[in-house]
A and B are shown apart, each in its own frame.
Chain A
Amino acid sequence: MADKLWFLLPEIWLFVGVVVLSIIGLSKSKSLRDSLPFVTCFFLIVAFIMTPFVYSADRVADAPLLMPMLGKYVKMIVCAVGTMLALLSVGLLDRPLEAAMAEGRTRFDAIRVNRGEYFAFFLLSLIGVMLVCNANDLIWLFLALELASLPTYIMVAISRPSSKAQEAAVKYFFLGAMSSAMFLYGFALLYGSTGTIVITELRDAFTDQTLSEGGLSRLAIVGMILSIIGLCFKIVAVPMHFYAADVYEGAASPVTAFLGFVPKTAGAVALILLLSTVGWSNHHGFNVDGLPREILTTLWMIAVLTMTLGNVGALLQRSAKRMLAYSSIAHSGYLIIGLIAGPPFGLNAVLFYLLAYGLMNTAAFAVLAAFERRGQEIESLDDLAGLRRRYPVMAVVMAIAAGSLMGMPPLLGFAAKLYLFIAGMNAGHVALIVIAALNSAISAFYYLKLVALPLLAQSTPQSETVIPRPVVWPRVAAIITAAAIVILPIFANQLIKASNVANSIEQSALLSATDDLSLVEKVEDGTRH
């Protein structure tokens, strides 16, 4: 019990943050209310620093978890990207109200301010993601996923005073509820098939089923496929991708950036945990040969459809946010390649890709979030035309983000995509890699617009009316993330090592593997002999 709680220290710390934020948000002092995003950042940074100490080798050794070190990696990237996302949200909420109060037109009214709640929900959602990677039973997994999702529905609704946001939130909520029902039903079937909800026991039960009956029971397969499809909602994959464009467009840009990273991470981590129970070929110390064929086929089809639909859909968009929404779909398709490939390389790739995608997604939306027109945020691609003349740095950031999303060397997106492709190839999925490569080529077509419009196009009368938001922090976040995209590829090897440790299962191997790659070698030896 205490062991389990120990790993939750970052979450508990962030929960303290939630409490503090929701109280500060109701303060009458404007400077206190203005400090909210920075308090959020403070809590996230402390959690970031705290995490490596929490996951010390001796603590991890007897953790009752399937992938004990998963939490370290995921929590750290969530905190890091989360800090950037919090900076994006500076000055987003309550602008009309704050303006009215500043002019003395209205008095402070606690029930009408939403800022404290926004940042509290922001942290709660991040806590949800962090809890996902600590999950050791299906109930926990379900609750953590819901904790990651539920606050986002409200964040979408309050993110801007527009009926579009309301509409987006309602759509998002209902479809989200449907997907939750779906994977909950899947979980129930898994329980029905094995009689347990504990993930480590599920894995043993599935191993027994495979060994004794030559495969998983039908109930288990149906349960697993339902769970996967339900989780597709979180990672924005076909067949649960329909909401993406509308919701991403409806929400304010900082929230859209949040939606692109946080639920996706939660869903991907949950998929890693779930799929690891039914096995991958050459998994660490796991003797079932590969994913069951039905599940593999499902994932394969999801991957192909997701990346193709995402990329083709993005080609047709004129709204930058809708385009990035479809690009988010496409990137989920790439992500699933890693899930199909399985450990160690495939999972390394997924975890690495999540970090890369989080950063480039944040950078792209940060540029959108940094500008506005008459207090309304910019949406159309045309609003970016000729940005270079007036705001060269932001134009360059947008180009870097788009280049990285495209997979252009030497940026971070290329490193992540390359690793993903090699991992997929390593698992023998040649056709999948060819399709993904062709998709990358298609994607260049629309990402180029994000490079060309800000950097090369002439500004139009329409785009001249675009001005920066009065706060500087979205621009700061944009510059930091862009710098990370340029610099992190140099450290790609170290990041891969970290993610490799994160998805390893064997506890004994872990202690020796925290700093080198002996684990990989060991596994490779194991599968070869």
Chain B
Amino acid sequence: MLLAILLILPLVGAIAIIASPAKHAKWIALFISTGIFIYSLTLAMSFEHWTDGQFGLASEKPFQWFEQFGITLSVGVDSVSLLLVMLSTLLMPLCIWGSFSAITERVKEYYGWMLAIQAAMVGVFIARDLIFFYICFEFTLIPMYFLIAIWGGENRAKACIKFFLFTFTGSMIALAGLLYVAWQYSISSGDWSFDIAQLTTFASTELTASQQAWVLLALISGFAVKVPLFPVHTWLPLAHAEAPTAGSVLLASILLKLGTYGLYRFILPMVPEGLLYEVTLPLVGWTFIPLQLIAVLAIISIIYAALICWVQDDIKRLVAYSSVSHLGFCVLGLVALNPLGMQGSVLYMLNHGLSTGALFFLVGMIYERYHTRDMDKLSGLSKSMPVWAFFMVFFVLASVGLPGLNGFIGEFLCLIGTFVATADNTANPGILGPWYAAFAAVGMILTAMYLLMMVGKVVFGALKEPTVSHDSHHKPLPKDLSIREICVLAPIAVLCLYIGLQPKPLTDAIQAPVDEILAQYPPIVNRYHASQSRPDDFVLIQQSTEPGGAN
């Protein structure tokens, strides 16, 4: 019940906003989202499993939905989930406060949807039932769809449809995969259950490697769209460019994390054998190792998106593509299969949420003032807006990965993790290695280049401001940031600095759950390496070590 309040409160708030007059909408939304944040803080304070990786705060008597299939709306969090919950509850009041001046029409709907999306996002992280997870995962689409479609830019119709269709298609396939796992579980145990813990244990131990591989492909097609990985990333720049500022912030900070969270929570624990199984596609006959495929796609995402960033004129698009690039690191860290990479990856989720979210805020503030995001039209803003320029430089440096700020630790760990993910690493062998790390590092350099170039153009240099005619229904904003805007950015900045200097509490919190997921990997990876080095024995090893069939 403690956690369920996090879900119910925003929904109640949304209804309250719809029912009350429009001028109160933003204050109600701010009040409720702040309340939720404070509530989640107290939850975090009282949480007992910060370091042991256990799930806590579970509901004792969850709501039974389809009793026959054991679908319950059960909740519970471990330290990683709770961190992501905190991230979303922290950003929500900031997003709401940040949109006070930008949103002037259909305000009731806007703040209603904002609170609805908060419920869905929190629901994804606290769900302990597969169907409940899926419901929340899908439901994030609806508020986001409307946020883009109603308060978006010129091209919003195309953007929101593309966003919706990509994600919906992916998650439908993922649903089929999840149902398959649950079905196999029901065959072997005689009862249906959608409990995530049970299904994870079952899938990782009882399913054959080929079954796992197919489940993996189904799941990855759902989560890769959300992350987004290279071939299915095309919805993201469009959606980001068109979304209102707060929508972009939420999209980048939290909704993209749903994809990596899915990788972390489902794919890695559920289908370890499948990740290293040599899949042969029917009809075309291509063979690949899923883990390698994911890693290669992640690297392509990193470099490809970074190169695109280099030639972007639109600041918002640049930040959007940089998200694609950054999330590539995150995925790479996850598939490194060692604690370094995975910790780095989870940290990266939080840090990217903070710094990229802040960057979107900053871009939004510029856009509100000058109605353009074109780098060619903006230059030397440090002279006219010093406070804005300070924050911009700060968050760009955080994003680039300057040591001492938050971005560094996550990115560094991901890279190190990838580097050491070889067969020689006896404790946690992986199948990546220096080559993968080297390519990813190229992306890191590119990131520094395009972000600093952007800063150089926009913040420094000769002052160039486009002339703007203020339309009547927008209240004129001060030249530099207002107190409200500073208050939105400052908490994020403080947190970035704190995490950068003192990442230990976070890495400690992430340690235990990560170790638990990784525990099952070394034998599987060793077996894979053995089969690679002695191809003749491959069949034999495969037969002798595969767990029995699902029936």
Which residues of the other chain, A, contact B150 by a CB distance below 8 angstroms? 455-456
Bound CA span A294–B88, Å: 54
Which residues of the other chain, B, contact A433 by a CB distance below 8 angstroms? 176, 179-180
A438 at the interface (CB under 8 A from B): yes
Contact A430–B180 (Cβ < 8 Å): yes
Which residues of the other chain, B, contact A448 by a CB distance below 8 angstroms? 161, 164-165
Please judge, given known A-B contacts A444-B164, A444-B169, A520-B68, whether A425 and B139 are in contact too, CB under 8 Å.
Answer: no
A418 at the interface (CB under 8 A from B): yes
A419 at the interface (CB under 8 A from B): yes
Which residues of the other chain, A, contact B176 by a CB distance below 8 angstroms? 421, 430, 433-434, 437
B67 at the interface (CB under 8 A from A): yes
Q: Which of A389-419 contact B (CB under 8 A)?
A: 403, 408-410, 414-415, 418-419
Contact B173–A422 (Cβ < 8 Å): no
The 5 A-B residue pairs whose C-beta atoms are closest, nearest first, are A441-B169, A409-B135, A425-B183, A437-B172, A437-B176
Contact A434–B67 (Cβ < 8 Å): no
A62 at the interface (CB under 8 A from B): no
Which residues of the other chain, A, contact B149 by a CB distance below 8 angstroms? 452, 455-456
Which residues of the other chain, B, contact A437 by a CB distance below 8 angstroms? 172-173, 175-176
Contact B157–A493 (Cβ < 8 Å): no
Please judge, given known A-B contacts A414-B135, A422-B182, whether A403 and B142 are in contact too, CB under 8 Å.
Answer: yes
Contact A496–B183 (Cβ < 8 Å): no
Q: Which of B166-203 contact A (CB under 8 A)?
A: 168-169, 172-173, 175-176, 179-180, 182-183, 186, 190, 192
Which residue on B lies nearest to A392, using beta carbons?
Answer: B109
B134 contacts which of A409, A440, A456, A457 (Cβ < 8 Å)?
Answer: A409
Bound CA span A370–B4, Å: 39
Beyond contacts A348-B68, A403-B142, A493-B64: 20 other A-B pairs, Cβ-Cβ < 8 A, are A408-B142, A409-B138, A422-B183, A426-B183, A433-B179, A437-B173, A438-B169, A438-B173, A441-B168, A441-B169, A444-B164, A444-B168, A452-B161, A455-B146, A456-B150, A456-B157, A492-B65, A497-B67, A517-B67, A517-B68
The majority secondary structure among interface residues of chain A is: helix
Contact A434–B65 (Cβ < 8 Å): no
Bound CA span A414–B137, Å: 13
Q: Which of A434-483 contact B (CB under 8 A)?
A: 434, 437-438, 440-441, 444-445, 448, 452, 455-457
Minimum CB–CB distance for A17 against chain B, Å: 36
Bound CA span A520–B150, Å: 47
Which residues of the other chain, B, contact A421 by a CB distance below 8 angstroms? 175-176, 179
19 contacts between A and B (CB under 8 A): A345-B68, A408-B138, A422-B69, A422-B183, A425-B180, A426-B183, A426-B186, A428-B183, A430-B180, A441-B168, A456-B149, A456-B150, A457-B157, A492-B65, A493-B65, A493-B67, A500-B68, A517-B68, A528-B190
Interface centre among B164, B168, B173, by most chain A C-beta atoms within 10 angstroms, is B168
B286 at the interface (CB under 8 A from A): no
Which residues of the other chain, B, contact A456 by a CB distance below 8 angstroms? 146, 149-150, 157
A524 at the interface (CB under 8 A from B): yes
Which residue on B lies nearest to A429, using beta carbons?
Answer: B183
Please judge, given known A-B contacts A408-B142, A409-B135, A433-B176, whether A524 and B190 are in contact too, CB under 8 Å.
Answer: yes
B66 at the interface (CB under 8 A from A): yes
B268 at the interface (CB under 8 A from A): no
Which residue on B lies nearest to A525, using beta carbons?
Answer: B190
Contact A492–B66 (Cβ < 8 Å): yes
Bound CA span A234–B119, Å: 42
Q: Mark A487-498, 1 if CB is under 8 A from B, else 0.
A: 000001100110
Contact A496–B66 (Cβ < 8 Å): yes
Which residues of the other chain, A, contact B255 by a CB distance below 8 angstroms? none
Q: Which of B56-73 contact A (CB under 8 A)?
A: 64-69
Which residue on A lies nearest to B176, using beta carbons?
Answer: A437
B126 at the interface (CB under 8 A from A): no
Contact A444–B173 (Cβ < 8 Å): no
Contact B157–A452 (Cβ < 8 Å): yes
Which residues of the other chain, A, contact B139 by a CB distance below 8 angstroms? 408-410
The majority secondary structure among interface residues of chain B is: helix
Bound CA span A444–B182, Å: 25
Interface size class of B (residues with CB under 8 A): 35 or more
B275 at the interface (CB under 8 A from A): no
B172 contacts which of A403, A415, A440 (Cβ < 8 Å)?
Answer: A440
Which residues of the other chain, A, contact B168 by a CB distance below 8 angstroms? 441, 444
Bound CA span A237–B190, Å: 34
Bound CA span A414–B179, Å: 14
Which residues of the other chain, B, contact A426 by a CB distance below 8 angstroms? 183, 186, 192
Interface centre among B68, B134, B175, by most chain A C-beta atoms within 10 angstroms, is B68
Contact B186–A444 (Cβ < 8 Å): no
Bound CA span A393–B40, Å: 35
Contact B173–A493 (Cβ < 8 Å): no
Which residues of the other chain, A, contact B30 by a CB distance below 8 angstroms? none
Which residues of the other chain, B, contact A440 by a CB distance below 8 angstroms? 172
Minimum CB–CB distance for B464 against chain A, Å: 35
Contact A444–B142 (Cβ < 8 Å): no
B131 at the interface (CB under 8 A from A): yes
Minimum CB–CB distance for A163 against chain B, Å: 37
Which residues of the other chain, B, contact A419 by a CB distance below 8 angstroms? 66, 69
Which residues of the other chain, A, contact B136 by a CB distance below 8 angstroms? 409
Contact A444–B68 (Cβ < 8 Å): no
Contact A434–B192 (Cβ < 8 Å): no
Which residue on B lies nearest to A406, using beta carbons?
Answer: B168
Bound CA span A415–B192, Å: 17
Contact B179–A444 (Cβ < 8 Å): no
Bound CA span A414–B65, Å: 13
Which residues of the other chain, B, contact A455 by a CB distance below 8 angstroms? 146, 149-150
Bound CA span A448–B167, Å: 13
Q: Mark B498-537, 1 if CB is under 8 A from A, else 0.
A: 0000000000000000000000000000000000000000
Which residues of the other chain, B, contact A497 by a CB distance below 8 angstroms? 67
Contact B66–A493 (Cβ < 8 Å): yes
Bound CA span A437–B139, Å: 17
Please judge, given known A-B contacts A517-B67, A520-B68, whether A425 and B179 are in contact too, CB under 8 Å.
Answer: yes
Bound CA span A403–B139, Å: 11
Bound CA span A415–B131, Å: 10
Bound CA span A440–B172, Å: 7
Q: Mark B146-164, 1 if CB is under 8 A from A, else 0.
A: 1001100000010011001
Q: Which of A346-403 contact B (CB under 8 A)?
A: 348, 403
Interface centre among A425, A433, A496, by most chain B C-beta atoms within 10 angstroms, is A425
Which residue on B lies nearest to A409, using beta carbons?
Answer: B135
Which residues of the other chain, B, contact A422 by a CB distance below 8 angstroms? 66, 69, 179, 182-183, 192
Which residue on B lies nearest to A428, using beta carbons?
Answer: B183
Minimum CB–CB distance for B190 against chain A, Å: 6
Which residues of the other chain, A, contact B172 by a CB distance below 8 angstroms? 437-438, 440-441
Which residues of the other chain, B, contact A410 by a CB distance below 8 angstroms? 135, 139
Which residues of the other chain, A, contact B69 by a CB distance below 8 angstroms? 419, 422
Bound CA span A324–B138, Å: 23
Minimum CB–CB distance for B319 against chain A, Å: 25
Contact A418–B131 (Cβ < 8 Å): yes
Bound CA span A419–B192, Å: 12
Minimum CB–CB distance for A442 against chain B, Å: 8
Which residues of the other chain, B, contact A444 by a CB distance below 8 angstroms? 164-165, 168-169
Bound CA span A360–B131, Å: 22
Which residue on B lies nearest to A348, using beta carbons?
Answer: B68
Minimum CB–CB distance for A469 against chain B, Å: 27
Bound CA span A274–B136, Å: 39
Bound CA span A457–B149, Å: 9
Minimum CB–CB distance for A484 against chain B, Å: 17
Minimum CB–CB distance for A348 against chain B, Å: 8
Contact B182–A425 (Cβ < 8 Å): yes
Minimum CB–CB distance for A521 against chain B, Å: 9
Which residue on B lies nearest to A444, using beta carbons?
Answer: B168
Contact B173–A434 (Cβ < 8 Å): yes
Which residues of the other chain, B, contact A425 by a CB distance below 8 angstroms? 179-180, 182-183
Which residues of the other chain, A, contact B160 by a CB distance below 8 angstroms? 452
Bound CA span A444–B165, Å: 7
Which residue on A lies nearest to B179, using beta carbons?
Answer: A425
